Amino acid sequence: MHRLFELLALIGGMALVATVLRDAFETMILPRRLNSRFGITRAYFRGLWPIWSWLAERLPRGRHRESALSLFGPLSMLVLFVAWAGALMLGFALIFYGAGSPLQTSEMRRGFGMDLYLSGSMFLTLGLGAATPSGALGRVVAIAEGGMGFGFVAIVIAYLPTLYSGFSRRETSISMLDARAGSPPTASELLRRHARTLDQLEIYLAEWERWSAELLESHISYPVLGYFRSQHVNQSWLAALTTVLDSCALLMAGAEDGCTHQAGLTFPMARHAVVDLAQIFITRLPRSHSERLPEEKLEQIATRLKTAGLALRLSGERKQRLAELRHLYEPQVLTIARYLRLELPQWLGDPDAKDNWQRSPWDRGAQTGAWAKGVLERHF
């Protein structure tokens, strides 16, 4: 019976080590998403995020809740690293136990506890000497675990800068959206502020086409980046992506000329990013969703843009075209926003609202805010 337990421990330990290595390889090294039915990392985030977000929603709305939600991404990765390391040490301890505990110890005690101690000492390369492997098999397993522990630490050290580099590139463009589309960003403000400079808007949309491609590549390779939140509570990667899609949809449906060609190139890339990223965070789309663009708001957008110098035709077939374009991405962004507890942008922005760059804890009174608003109005 004891030998049967050892055999089961050996098989279980090898299976645990193989499973953890496969999961860590897919998460940190493999630059693509695998459509596997089961994965430790996938189940880990799918199980932990709903609990974390539910607890965070018990906090008052605003910065306290947003701060709690923003902790999840970085903290969950650190906990995952510890869980991987602990699972590997446990797996090798089971292998040692299944191999008959081939170790030498200065203490009289033996058993799984000493096997676990030896495994931790080998994986963390401590070399304490209280327990050392003996026999050919024990030494081979110890060397393999020591090398694996050293490699694991090296990969984690290399992984974190790559992760934060992708986050930094994403947030740079989101911060630049502040003065161009408002805070929070909206399609109406983006088009209004560029109504008389459509050549610049065309260049800007081309930059967002590349940004959408980079977002897709980085967040497919490192899905945890989707949980990393922006610095300001009124900004997010999903809000920025939705604003770009809204703006392109308006131009493609209602504009006569200008940057409609570039909008027709940016929209497919941004929509591609939304559809692929939705497969990471959600399992199915809702049968129905709330209306983001009521009839009266669409008329207000057309009037406001016409006043700014950009005439859009948004009636009849063009209105139907806009509805068809919206249907290509709105179900996905609404479901992702609900899952990640992110706010989606409105279609119609408030031109009198202050942008983030106009706000400061050192500003006092309305004079500074009025001056900053005047600076912006002279440029748009």
Enter the DSSP assignment of 345.
P
Q: Which residues pair with 167 in a beta bridge?
A: none
Which pair of structure tokens corresponds to residue 71? 């902790």
| Distance of alpha carbon 219 from alpha carbon 258, whole angstroms | 32
Rg of the chain's alpha carbons, rounded to an integer? Answer: 27
CA–CA distance from 347 to each of 297, 300, 314 (Å)?
Answer: 8, 10, 14
Q: What residue spans define the domains of the chain?
A: 2-158, 185-349
Q: Which amino acid is at 301?
A: I
> Could you tell me where the DSSP H helices lie in the chain?
2-28, 40-56, 63-98, 112-123, 135-181, 187-193, 198-221, 237-254, 260-281, 295-308, 317-327, 330-340, 365-379
Buried-exposed string 265-279: b where 16+ CB fall within 10 A, e elsewhere: ebbebbbebbebbbe
Q: Which residues pair with 132 in a beta bridge?
A: 104
Q: Tell me what pLDDT residue 1 has.
A: 65
| Distance of alpha carbon 241 from alpha carbon 276, whole angstroms | 13
Backbone angles phi, psi at 195, to 5 degrees: -60, -35
Length of the chain in terms of residues written:
380
User: Residue 345: is the preceding peptide bond cis (ω within 30°)?
Assistant: no
Q: Which pLDDT tens digits describe the chain residue by residue (380 residues)? A: 667 777 888 889 899 999 998 888 888 887 666 555 557 788 889 889 999 999 999 988 878 888 899 999 999 999 999 999 999 999 998 888 888 877 777 666 667 888 888 888 888 877 666 677 787 888 888 888 888 888 888 888 888 888 899 999 999 999 888 888 888 899 999 999 988 888 899 999 999 999 999 999 999 888 899 999 998 888 899 999 999 999 999 999 988 776 788 999 999 999 999 999 998 888 888 777 778 888 889 889 989 998 888 888 888 888 999 999 999 999 999 999 999 999 999 998 877 777 777 776 666 544 555 555 555 555 55
Closest by Cα among 338, 307, 330, 289 to 188: 307
